[in-house]
C-alpha cells in the first residue's frame, strides 16, 4: 500500500483509490504507486474487476506541474517511458476496469481515465487535455487513447485547443459512458464492476485482450487474435460448466469457478 494510492478489495471488486490532497496531482511517486496498485490488482485472484477512483471531489487534476517544471529534456527522456508504462499498467489489467470520475479529470487525470474500459462520471465532471497550454502535449497516452476512443477529429480539437469538456459533451462524444449525480458515481462504478465477480474470469480476460489487441492491428490479424483466444477457452473448466449449464438450465445460470 502506497502513501497516496491504495488497493481496497471488497466482495471481488478492487478499488484503486488515489488520495493526494488537494487535487490528486500525479507526481512521480503517485505514478509509481498507481503502477504498483495496478500490478497488485492484476495478480490477485480475489479481484475480479477494478474501480479507479479519486474520491468525492476530484478524480485527478493532472501532473504535478511544479515537479515537472524543474525537469530538463534529459530528465524527461529518462522519465517519459516510466510515466507511460505506469498508466499502461492500468490499461493492461486483464479484468474489467471502470473509472469513477468526479470533479476534474485533466491532463494526466484524463489520460488515467482513458486507461479504463468505461468511464462513469458525475454530471458536473470536467475532462480535458490542456497540456498544449503549457507548451507541451499529452505524454501519458492522451494522443493515442483519446484518438482511439473519440476519433481523430474530436481528439485533435481537444488536444490542439486544450479546452475543458463538460460532462454532457463528454457523454455526447464518447469520452464518458454514463453520467450520474456526483454522490452516486462511486456506487454506480462498483455496481458495474460487481456484475463480473461471478463471471467466467478467463473468458472476460480473453474478450478484453481480443478487443484491446485487435485495435492495435489490422482486421485480419485481429481476427486471428480472436480465433486463438476463442479456441483456448475450450481448455477451461468454466467453458464446460457454462455449456453444461446452458443445456440443463438455460442461459445465465452457470456458476463459474474462474478456471
- Catalytic residue annotation: 63, 108, 111, 131
Residue 8 parent element (H or E): strand 5-10
The grid cell for 23 is 487535487
The per-residue b/e assignment along 197-229, b for 16 or more CB within 10 angstroms, e otherwise, is bebbbbbbbbbbbbeeebeeeeeeebeebbeeb
Q: Where are the beta strands (DSSP E) in 136-251?
A: 164-166, 178-180
The three-class DSSP label of residue 256 is coil
Beta bridge partners of 6: 17
Neighbours of 258 (CB within 10 A): 17
Alpha carbons 127 and 121: distance in angstroms, whole number: 10
Alpha carbons 83 and 98: distance in angstroms, whole number: 21
Alpha carbons 24 and 21: distance in angstroms, whole number: 6
Amino acid at each position: 500500500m502506497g502513501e497516496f494510492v491504495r488497493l481496497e478489495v471488497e466482495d471481488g471488486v478492487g478499488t484503486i483509490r488515489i488520495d493526494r490532497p488537494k487535487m490528486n496531482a500525479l507526481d512521480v511517486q503517485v505514478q509509481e504507486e498507481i503502477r504498483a496498485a495496478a500490478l497488485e490488482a492484476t495478480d490477485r485472484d480475489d479481484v475480479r474487476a477494478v474501480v479507479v477512483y479519486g474520491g468525492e471531489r476530484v478524480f485527478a487534476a493532472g501532473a504535478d506541474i511544479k515537479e515537472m517544471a524543474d525537469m530538463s529534456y534529459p530528465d524527461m527522456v529518462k522519465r517519459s517511458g516510466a510515466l507511460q508504462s505506469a498508466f499502461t499498467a492500468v490499461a493492461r489489467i486483464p479484468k474489467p476496469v471502470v473509472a469513477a470520475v468526479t470533479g476534474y479529470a485533466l491532463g494526466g487525470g484524463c489520460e488515467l481515465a482513458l486507461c479504463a474500459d468505461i468511464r462513469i462520471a458525475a454530471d458536473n465532471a470536467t475532462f480535458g487535455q490542456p497540456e498544449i497550454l503549457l507548451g507541451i502535449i499529452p505524454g501519458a497516452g492522451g494522443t493515442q487513447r483519446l484518438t482511439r476512443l473519440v476519433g481523430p477529429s474530436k481528439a485533435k480539437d481537444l488536444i490542439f485547443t486544450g479546452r475543458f469538456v463538460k460532462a454532457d459533451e463528454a457523454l455526447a462524444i464518447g469520452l464518458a459512458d454514463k453520467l450520474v449525480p456526483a454522490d452516486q458515481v462511486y456506487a454506480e462504478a462498483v455496481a458495474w464492476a460487481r456484475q463480473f465477480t461471478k463471471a467466467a474470469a478467463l473468458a472476460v480476460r480473453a474478450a478484453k485482450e481480443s478487443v484491446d489487441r485487435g485495435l492495435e492491428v489490422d482486421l485480419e490479424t485481429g481476427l486471428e487474435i480472436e480465433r486463438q483466444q476463442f479456441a483456448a477457452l475450450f481448455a477451461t473448466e468454466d467453458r464446460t460448466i457454462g455449456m453444461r449449464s446452458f443445456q440443463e438450465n438455460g442461459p445465465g445460470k452457470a456458476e463459474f469457478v474462474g478456471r
